[in-house]
Amino acid sequence: MIENNSSVVLQSEKVGILHYINMIRKFYKSILALSVAVSITIGYVAAQDSTSTASAAPAGGGDVAKGEALYKNNCAQCHATSAEVVVGPGLAGIEERRDYAWLKKWINNPMGVIASGDKYANELYEKYNKTQMTAFAAFGDDEVKAVLAYIKSANVAPVVVAAVSGAVAAPAETGGGTFINVILVALLIIMGLVLVALLGILQLLNRLSGADAVAAGTSVSFGEKLQASFKNIAANKTVRSAIVWAFILLATKATFDGMYGIGVHQGYAPKQPIAFSHKLHAGEMKINCAYCHTGVYKGKQSGIPSANICMNCHNAIKRESPEIQKIYTAIETNKPIEWVRVHNLPDLAYFNHAQHTNVGGLECKNCHGEIEKMEVVQQRSSLTMGWCIDCHRKSEVNGKDNGYYAKLMEAHSAVSKGAMKVQDNGGLECAKCHY
């Protein structure tokens, strides 16, 4: 009779525990939905704040986004949006110093304004070593207003609370910031509720395991159960054999992976003697690769730029920069800048830049990755033989308006209807790269 009563009590407890666990499961689903909603709301509020700040245009209705693109492509080489002097004066507060009509004339034809005898223009010309500003005659009202709008937006100071005498002004808190604080507090409360729920589940599981032990008439600890399970696994021959073979296979794979990785420097990004940014020069300034790497379209090697190429611009731009001073030091001491080579093929492999860039029409990023986005250059591709062969199998020969391949393309068309690949031109022959 007592055993039956114990069984009934045990079953009742199990039903209660399962019911409670179902409640917890529903609670977690609600928490998950709430968390997703909160994340989306925070992202939306942050986007609204950043958009309202970034798109705030000054009086005049200039397009800030358009102005930013125009400024970075045409003005950033010589001017800063702040008061900092680069080659020419800083542009902060430019609309307060000169009116719009004067600024437009100056941007369209600076030397014409100087020649007209304008006092302010001539003072600028003398002050900045008679450096001639590039004329942007194609800039109309829309372009000029857009650039001015971007300059003004770049110098917008954060709104501050009125400061009392002797006190430091503090930034005013925006509505978006207050809302995010409320959301963070709500998330902390949710995390506390989750912790309480987890403690409840743990307590119920302990009660359930204790009830099972009482029903069986024994008392076995969790550690004893775990120890017995490990002993059973260790005594099983099949399991032991599987573990040994898994170890052998993993060790073999690791060995072959290591062997194949010898000489592969993918991801290599050494520190250079001068912190040169391709992202700034090739990306934002749009300087063509061939300006610095003079052999990239006409020689086997692309070439490393000499210091005099750097000085074509930096004899006037950012001369006081510590990094630029390293170039001056190299010239004065007659010592080359010791750039560290990043992409280094083995001596047994022949590679010709001109064959690929000039004749083949490939872009630099086909092999080097998006150099224009790299602050520090790194080797993006593996540059293994398999990688090169795979490219030769997939790449079509660039025969359009290319006299180099005219007769070869004609011969290929006579025997095949498909596009001519590099492999059809001997791209897989050993002697093409190893001789």
Read off the pLDDT of residues 145-165 as tens digits, 9 standing for 90 and up: 988 888 888 887 544 433 333
What is the arithmetic mean of pLDDT over 397-422?
84
What is the arithmetic mean of pLDDT over 92-97?
88
Mean confidence (pLDDT) of the chain: 78
Q: Mention every residue, 6+ apart, whose C-beta is less than 8 A from residue 88.
A: 78, 79, 124, 128, 131, 133
State residue 291's pLDDT score. 92
Percent of the chain with pLDDT over 90: 26
Q: Strand runs (DSSP E) across 32-163, as ranges?
A: none
* Helix or strand holding residue 385 (H, E): helix 385-394
Beta bridge partners of 396: 421
State residue 184's pLDDT score. 60
State residue 167's pLDDT score. 37
Identity of residue 88:
G
Dist. CA 164–CA 172, nearest whole Å: 14
State residue 42's pLDDT score. 55
Please determine, for residue 175, whether its predicted confidence score (pLDDT) is greater than 50: no
**How many helices (H) and strands (E) are present in the chain, helices listed first?**
19, 0
State residue 173's pLDDT score. 41
Q: Within 217-295, where are the H helices?
A: 222-235, 237-260, 278, 289-292
**pLDDT confidence bin for 180, thresholds 50/70/90:** low
Identity of residue 313:
C
- Identify the residue with better confidence: 302 or 220: 302
Dist. CA 303–CA 353, nearest whole Å: 10
Tokens encoding 362: 């490939």
